[in-house]
Chains A and B, each alone.
Chain A
Amino acid sequence: MPLEIKDLTISYGNHVVLESINFSIPDGNIIGLVAPNGTGKTTLFNAIIRFIPINKGEIRVDGQAYKNTTKDVRALHEKITFFPDQAELYENFSGYEHIEMYRDIWKGGKGDIDAIVDRLNMAGYVGDKVNSYSLGMRQRLCFAMMMAADTKIMFMDEIMNGLDPVNVELVSRILQEVKQEGKIIIVASHLLENLDDYADQIYFLNNKDIYYTYDRKDAQENFIKGNIGPEHYQSIDTLPEGTLYLNRQRICIPTKTLTDADKLKLMNRLQEGGSESVTIGPLGTYEHYLRIYKGVES
C-alpha cells in the first residue's frame, strides 16, 4: 500500500488528540477527511508529514517506513506536499512566481506552468502581485502550487474555502483528473456534499480515531432524502424500518421494502412537510456526518 498509517498516536501533554489511527490508501485515490472543527484533522496531516512529533506509530510510503530522523523527514517532504494557507503567501511575489517556486523546489524546474495556469483559468491575474488577489484567487493559486509540486501524496486542508461554485466544480474536476495519474489526495473539507463529487472514501474522525469509513464504491442502499421539521416527522406514520431522522431535520427513508407507489406517496408527504427538495439516492457524506456527529432518531 503506498500510504500506510499504523497505530498513530498524538498527544499534547496529557491531552490525547488522536489514538491508534490505522489506515492504508492505495495509489489513485482521493480520501475525504471529515470532522467538526477541533477534532484533529489538521493534526493528523501535520503528524503524517511529521511537522509535529508523534508519540507512537509508523508512517510508510511505498512500503518504506519514514522515521523521525532529519534524513527521513526530508525524504518524506519530497513525496508529500501540504496545501498552503492562502494568508501566508508572499504578498510581493506574483502568482506565477509562487507556482514557479514550487515547481523548481519539487520538480527541479520541470513542468509546464502555463498548462496549470490555463487549467485553473488563472491567466488573467497570475502575473500580478499576490497582494491584489481576492480570497478565491489566492485559493486557486495555492491549488496551482500543489499541482506544480506534483508530489505523489497531497494533503489539501480546506481546499474549497473562498471558492465560488464554478471554481469548486473546476477544482473538483481537476482533482479527479489528478487522481488518474496515481496520486493519493487527502482532502479536509466542510463542503460535505461536494466531497461526494470526487472522493473515493470519506474518513470520519471521532473519538480520537477514524470512527467510520464511508466507501463510495461499495453498493449503497437507496433512500428517499428530504428535510422536514420534528412535527411533520412525528405525523408521518408507517415509516419503514431503518428510517433515519438526523439532526431533527434530515429524513432518510430506505426504499428497499417500498413499492413505487409507496415511494411516490412518501415523497409527496415530505414535500407537503416543507422539504424543498426530495431526492432518491444512497446516504451521502452529509447524512453520515449528521448521523455521526449530530445523532439519530429512528
Chain B
Amino acid sequence: MRLFRWETLKVLRDWKVRILLAALILFVATYSTLYQNRSVELPIEETRAQYTDTQDLFRAIPQEHFETETGQDIYDRLARQQSILGMQRYILSEKEGNTVEGLEEIVSDYVDQGIEMAENQLYFHAADDFESQELLLTFMPSEIEINNRLKFLNYLKENDVAIDWNPMSPSLVLYTLVNIIAGVFIYIIAAIFGADRFSRDQENNWSITQGLPYTWKFQWRQRTFISWVLIWMTLIIGILISYFVSRLSTDTGTLMYPVQLYDGESAVYISILQYVVMTLLLAMALSYVIIKLSTGLSWVFRNIYLTITIVVAIFFIPYIFTIISPLGSWNPFLYIQLLPMLEGEWADIGNVNIVKMLIAIALFYILIEILFHFIFKLIPTRTGRLERRKN
C-alpha cells in the first residue's frame, strides 16, 4: 500500500491520462444521445414490410397450387399471417405494450400472435408437398431464425415482458453501448493506458524509481491494477450516466428485455441486465490481461506507438480462423475477441462457450506472467550509459 498511493498519484497527475479519462467518460456518457440521433428501422416498419411481402406472395403463387389440401392449409395460414401482421402493426403503433387497452378482444396479444406466426412459418418449411414451397420460403426466415424468434417470444411470455416498439429505448441503447465497449474499443483503451506506464519512468524519472525496494514484477502488477481500476471506474460511471440520460428522454423498454446469447452451438435468450453484467465482467477479465501485456511491453520497448500497435494487432488474431481452421473450440485465440463468441460466430466450430473463454483468459494471464518473469530478469532496459541489472 505504501507504494500504491504514489503510483496512483503519478498516473492521475499525468495530463495524458486525465485527457484520456475525460474523453472516455464524455464518449460513453453521451453515447445514448449520439445513438438517438441515428436513423434506425422501427419494428413497425419491419412489420409493414412483412405485410407487403405476404400480400405479394398471394399474387406470386399460382392460384392452382392452393387447391390441394396442403395448398388450402397454406392459403389459410398465409391469410392468418396477414391478419396478424395487420394487428401487430396496430399494437406497435399504439405503443402501449403487447396489446391495446380496451381492444384486447379484437387485436389480441402481440406475443401470442408472434408465436402463432412462427409456428405457421415452421409449417411452411415442413410443407414439402406444396408445389410453390421454394418460392414461399424465399419470403420466410430460416428455420434457425424462426426457432430463435420462438425462444424470444416465449421469453417475453414467461417473463411477462412487453414487446419494445422502440429500438432506441434506454435498455437497448445500453445493450449496444456494452457491445461497443467489449469490442476493439477496450483493446485500444487498454493499450493506450498501459503503453507508457513504465516508459515514462524509464525515460524521465529513472534515478528515482530504479532503486525502490520493490521488484519490477510487483510494480508491474500494481501499475496494471491501477490502470484497470481507473479505466473501469470511468467506463462504469459513463455507462450509468448514459443509461440515466437516455431514461430522461424515453421511458420505454426494460432491463428485463430479452437479448440473444450463444451458448455453445445454440442461442438462448437472457435479459439485457444479465447480458450487460456478464459481458462487462468478461470484458473486465479480458481487459486485465490486455493492460497487463501493454504495461509489460512498455517496460520492454519504451515506445508508446509500438506497444499500442502490437496490443491492438492481437485483437485481430481471431480473424485468421475465418480463413484457416482453429482446430477445435479449445483454441484459446478464439477467445481473444468477446463478441464473436457471444454472437455465435464460432457456432459452426461447436461448443465455443463462456467457461472455455474464462479458461483461455486464465491461460493468457499465466503465459504473460511467465513471459515477463523472464523478461524482467533478462532484458536490459533504459539504453544509455549503463546496462540494467539482470533481475
Contact = CB atoms under 8 A, between A and B. Distances in A.
Contact of A104 (B2, B206, B208): B2
Contact of B206 (A50, A81, A83, A88): A88
Given A53-B387, A69-B391, A93-B13, A106 B213 contact: yes
A108 B207 CA distance: 20
A68 B2 contact: no
Interface in B366-391: 377, 385-391
Contact of B388 (A52, A68, A92, A104): A52
Nearest to B382: A51
Contacts of B208: 84-85, 88-90
A145 to B, nearest CB: 8
B5 interface: yes
B211 interface: yes
Secondary structure class of chain A's binding surface, majority of residues: mixed
Given A70-B215, A105-B6, A53 B205 contact: no
A78 interface: yes
Interface in A84-105: 84-85, 88-90, 92-93, 97, 101, 104-105
Contacts of B5: 104
B210 A74 contact: no
How many chain A residues sit at the interface, stated as a range, is 35 or more
Contacts of B386: 42-43, 46, 51-52
Given A90-B10, A105-B212, A50 B389 contact: yes
B363 interface: no
A78 B213 contact: yes
Interface string A101-115: 100111011000000
A12 B272 CA distance: 62
A49 interface: yes
Nearest to B13: A92
Given A12-B387, A88-B204, A90-B13, A80 B6 contact: no
A73 interface: yes
Given A105-B212, A108-B2, A52 B207 contact: no
User: Which of A46, A69, A80: most chain B Cβ within 10 A?
Assistant: A46
A106 B206 CA distance: 17
B229 interface: no
Interface in B209-226: 210-215, 217
B375 to A, nearest CB: 13
Contacts of B391: 68-70, 73
Contacts of A60: none
Contacts of A93: 9, 13
B6 A101 contact: yes
A49 B210 CA distance: 10
Given A84-B208, A90-B13, 4 more contacts: A77-B214, A81-B211, A85-B206, A88-B206
Interface of B: 2-3, 5-6, 9-10, 13, 204-208, 210-215, 217, 377, 385-391
